[in-house]
């Protein structure tokens, strides 16, 4: 009997005599960092990352094959009380089946300078908590001890992973500035990862070198007979290791402004996706594949495409719902309404079903995939052409079409073809009409999955948000206004109002609407809350105190009494990422104000029209006297959902002028 065992170990030979040293050593804190009281490059910073260093490498062991090893040292200076939250740190660990990533070498220390001496406080076991995030990710949460203003905190840890596809990404930018951020990667030639960077930080160092590597294979053979003999042999496999080094210095904090999808789309980082592997004497193994491969995988999955083509038990229900209905559009509305009325979204965004659709109907609850795959299946059984669409929600990030990886998606909607035009549907949202996607879904393009092959569909809003305020008031001599206000909201404005209305009592809704305004509501009527194809209509009889300023024979009043734009939402002089409103919108304000007896207009704001290039935005303002009434019209239109960085300067100035115009007052004078 003969047997053979292999013992493999790696010996790496770099092109230079010595590898570059890490930029920091754990525990070696410079005195000037301990004495630091503010960060010179950002005096408003609550904390600053002094150094963040990480390295990922692929290592071979006899028992496990190639595994990933990740090591990190993070050092942060706490500058103000607002920075104390950075003493809380979270490490995600992936697991699947019986395999899980292992956290190694965890160390966390707080350093304080007390009476000229450095005092170290090490984290103990009670500072570590473990928590489940979802089916595949657990969190290790740590809290460093004795942290106060002036502290330096330091964390070091490693992660050993069997999941070579889960190569660590690296964020060079965060919510606080980073003085030094460095990431290194060591990847044998057998592994090909697609690497792509994002964000607007320019690397100070971006190196790719190669080093010679050798695998020594030691095998032994034992022969049986009168005399047992063991013979050893050595073989060598030469290969190349790719070494990468990225360094960014003095990275500014990412400053989130209004109207973005998610910060994760814009912070500067390096992303990795395993594309393929090719080992000696073996065929290549493709991991990334193509969108056609992904379409085939999903369409043939019993938890996805199989749910659309199967479930014959739905035929009877579909026939009952569509009995007597011949027009395709009416069938679509009827089936969409049935799913909305009978199935409640459980709040989970998923790409696959987790239970049979029959059970979803029984439980009257399901995730995004279950609800919209059910809708697609019912539409097909009604004779319509409908397919599921994989999307990434706005808070999940962009889909990069050049990188065919299904993990970019986290949600499913449905697309039906009516008169050869695509109609996008999401039955998780009960308060939107058929054909309108929720705002969370308006994010780039979606991947249509079908038996005929994949395609892409734009996820643009099919409805425009619109708010119309119409009021008629009488101004009294003491500056108080009495009158009626009617507000109509449609599109996403209507959806937001309906959600608020149904989440609380009507009185609470009205109280929330009034907020801190000095209004007294004597009567109210809210209608069309359930008629989702109509605008929500709110009618109020109101008395407004302190609406005007009375100074002897002069009254000053701002004629924009409701929803005035008082400040520019865009604070940064320059913006490095797009403005994303999610949908176009209109804000219309119409008001008539009857002047108090014995007063006349002394000064009126001048009318103004402001336009953005190519009619992408427009603002119209006018105040005029007709008889004894002051007539006010203000209309803000944003006619597209996304403005590029190049358009930002014009958009910001547009808002500056709107704010200035809406701050102007009418001056009334006693006759």
How many whole angstroms separate alpha carbon 85 and alpha carbon 89? 9
Nearest CA-CA partner of 491 in 428, 435, 561: 435
**If DSSP codes are grouped into helix, strand and coil, which group holds residue 379?**
helix
**If DSSP codes are grouped into helix, strand and coil, which group holds residue 367?**
coil
DSSP track, 654-667: HHHHHHHHHT--EE
**If DSSP codes are grouped into helix, strand and coil, which group holds residue 369?**
helix
Looking at the chain, which residues constitute the CATH 3.10.620.30 domain(s)?
291-458
- Find the angle CA(130)-CA(136)-CA(142) to the nearest 5 degrees: 20
Strand-by-strand arrangement of the 411-418 sheet: 421-425, 411-418, 385-391, 445-448, 455-458
CATH architecture for residues 465-670:
Sandwich (2.60)
Strand-by-strand arrangement of the 128-132 sheet: 99-100, 88-96, 137-143, 128-132
How many whole angstroms separate alpha carbon 427 and alpha carbon 436? 10
- Find the angle CA(614)-CA(615)-CA(621) to the nearest 5 degrees: 145
Q: Within 10 A of 401 (CB to CB), how many other CB atoms are there?
A: 12
**If DSSP codes are grouped into helix, strand and coil, which group holds residue 489?**
strand
Tens-digit pLDDT profile for residues 122-163: 998 888 999 988 778 999 999 999 999 999 999 999 999 999
Strands 548-551 and 536-544, by their bridges, are unpaired
Token output for 39: 């960060």
- Continuous segment of H or E residues that includes residue 591: strand 585-594
pLDDT of residue 231: 62
Q: Within 10 A of 448 (CB to CB), how many other CB atoms are there?
A: 20
Looking at the chain, which residues constitute the CATH 2.60.40.3140 domain(s)?
4-15+41-286
Beta bridge partners of 53: 73, 182
Is residue 474 within 8 A of residue 561, CB to CB? The reply is no
Q: Whole-prediction pTM value?
A: 0.84
pLDDT of residue 621: 97
Is residue 483 within 8 A of residue 473, CB to CB? The reply is yes
Strands 205-223 and 191-198, by their bridges, are unpaired
pLDDT of residue 136: 84
Q: Within 10 A of 407 (CB to CB), how many other CB atoms are there?
A: 10
How many whole angstroms separate alpha carbon 277 and alpha carbon 239? 14
Contacts of 272 (CB under 8 A, 6+ apart): 167, 168, 169, 185, 193, 194, 195
Q: Is 503 exposed, middle or buried (0-12, 13-18, 19+ CB in 10 A)?
A: exposed
Is residue 610 within 8 A of residue 490, CB to CB? The reply is no
Average pLDDT, the chain: 91
pLDDT of residue 286: 85
- Continuous segment of H or E residues that includes residue 373: helix 368-381
pLDDT of residue 18: 41
CA distances from 145 to 31, 75, 151 (A): 20, 15, 10
pLDDT of residue 376: 97
- Those residues of the chain that have pLDDT short of 50 are 1-18
**If DSSP codes are grouped into helix, strand and coil, which group holds residue 440?**
helix
CATH architecture for residues 4-15+41-286:
Sandwich (2.60)
Sign of CA dihedral 333, 335, 338, 340: negative
Contacts of 326 (CB under 8 A, 6+ apart): none
Is residue 402 within 8 A of residue 363, CB to CB? The reply is no
**If DSSP codes are grouped into helix, strand and coil, which group holds residue 571?**
coil
In CATH, what number does 291-458 get? 3.10.620.30
């Amino acid at each position: 009997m003969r047997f053979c065992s292999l013992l493999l170990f790696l010996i790496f030979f770099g092109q230079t005599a010595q590898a570059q040293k890490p930029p920091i050593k754990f525990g070696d804190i410079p005195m000037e960092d301990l004495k630091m009281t503010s960060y010179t490059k950002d005096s408003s910073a609550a904390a600053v990352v002094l150094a963040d260093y990480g390295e990922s490498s692929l290592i071979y062991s006899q028992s496990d094959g190639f595994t990933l090893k990740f090591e990190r040292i993070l050092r942060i200076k706490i500058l103000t009380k607002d920075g104390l939250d950075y003493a809380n740190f979270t490490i995600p660990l992936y697991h699947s089946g019986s395999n899980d990533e292992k956290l190694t070498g965890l160390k966390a220390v707080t350093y304080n300078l007390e009476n000229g001496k450095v005092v170290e406080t090490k984290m103990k076991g009670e500072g570590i908590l473990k928590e489940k995030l979802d089916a595949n990710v657990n969190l290790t949460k740590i809290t460093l001890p004795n942290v106060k203003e002036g502290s330096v905190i330091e964390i070091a840890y490693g992660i050993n992973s069997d999941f070579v596809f889960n190569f660590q990404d690296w964020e060079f930018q965060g919510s606080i500035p980073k003085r030094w951020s460095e990431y290194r990667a060591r990847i044998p030639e057998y592994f090909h990862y697609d690497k792509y960077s994002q964000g607007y930080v320019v690397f100070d160092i971006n190196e790719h070198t190669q080093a010679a590597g050798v695998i020594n294979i030691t095998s032994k053979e034992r022969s049986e007979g009168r005399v047992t003999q063991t013979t050893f042999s050595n073989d060598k496999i030469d290969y190349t290791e790719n070494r990468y080094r990225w360094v960014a210095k003095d990275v500014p904090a990412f400053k989130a402004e209004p109207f973005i999808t998610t910060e994760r789309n814009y912070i500067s980082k390096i992303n990795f996706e395993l594309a393929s592997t090719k080992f000696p004497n073996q065929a290549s193994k493709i991991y990334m594949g193509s969108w056609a491969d992904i379409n085939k995988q999903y369409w043939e999955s019993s938890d996805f495409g199989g749910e659309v083509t199967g479930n014959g038990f739905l035929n009877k229900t579909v026939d009952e719902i569509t009995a007597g209905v011949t027009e395709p559009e009416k069938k679509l509305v009827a089936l969409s309404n049935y799913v909305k009325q009978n199935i409640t979204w459980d709040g989970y965004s998923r790409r696959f079903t987790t239970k049979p659709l029959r059970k979803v109907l029984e439980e009257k609850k399901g995730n995004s995939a279950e609800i919209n795959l059910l809708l697609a299946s019912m539409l097909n059984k009604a004779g319509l052409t409908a397919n599921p669409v994989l999307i990434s929600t706005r808070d999940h990030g962009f889909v990069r079409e050049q990188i065919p990886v299904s993990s970019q998606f986290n949600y499913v909607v449905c697309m039906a073809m009516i008169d050869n035009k695509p109609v996008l549907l999401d039955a998780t949202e009960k308060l939107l009409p058929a054909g309108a996607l929720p705002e969370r879904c308006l994010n780039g393009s979606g991947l249509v999955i079908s038996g005929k092959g994949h395609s892409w569909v734009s996820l643009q809003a099919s409805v425009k948000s619109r708010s119309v305020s119409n009021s008629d008031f009488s101004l009294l001599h003491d500056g108080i206004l009495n009158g009626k206000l009617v507000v109509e909201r449609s599109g996403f404005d209507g959806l937001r109002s309906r959600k608020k209305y149904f989440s609380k009592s009507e009185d609470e809704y009205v109280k929330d609407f009034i907020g801190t305004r000095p209004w007294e509501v004597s009567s109210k009527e809210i209608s069309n809350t359930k008629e989702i194809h109509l605008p929500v209509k709110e009618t109020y009889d109101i008395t407004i105190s302190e609406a005007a300023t009375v100074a002897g024979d002069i009254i000053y009043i701002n004629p924009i009494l409701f929803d005035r734009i008082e400040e520019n939402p865009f604070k940064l002089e320059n913006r490095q990422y797009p403005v994303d409103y999610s949908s176009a919108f209109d804000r219309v304000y119409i008001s008539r104000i009857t002047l108090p007896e014995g007063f006349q207009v002394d000064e009126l704001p001048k009318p103004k029209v402001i336009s953005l290039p190519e009619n992408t935005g427009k603002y119209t303002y006018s105040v005029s006297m007709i008889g004894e009434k002051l007539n006010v019209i203000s209309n803000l239109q944003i006619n597209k959902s996304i403005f590029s960085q190049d358009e930002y300067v014009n958009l910001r100035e547009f808002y500056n002028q709107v704010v200035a115009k809406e701050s102007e007052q009418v001056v009334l004078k006693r006759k």
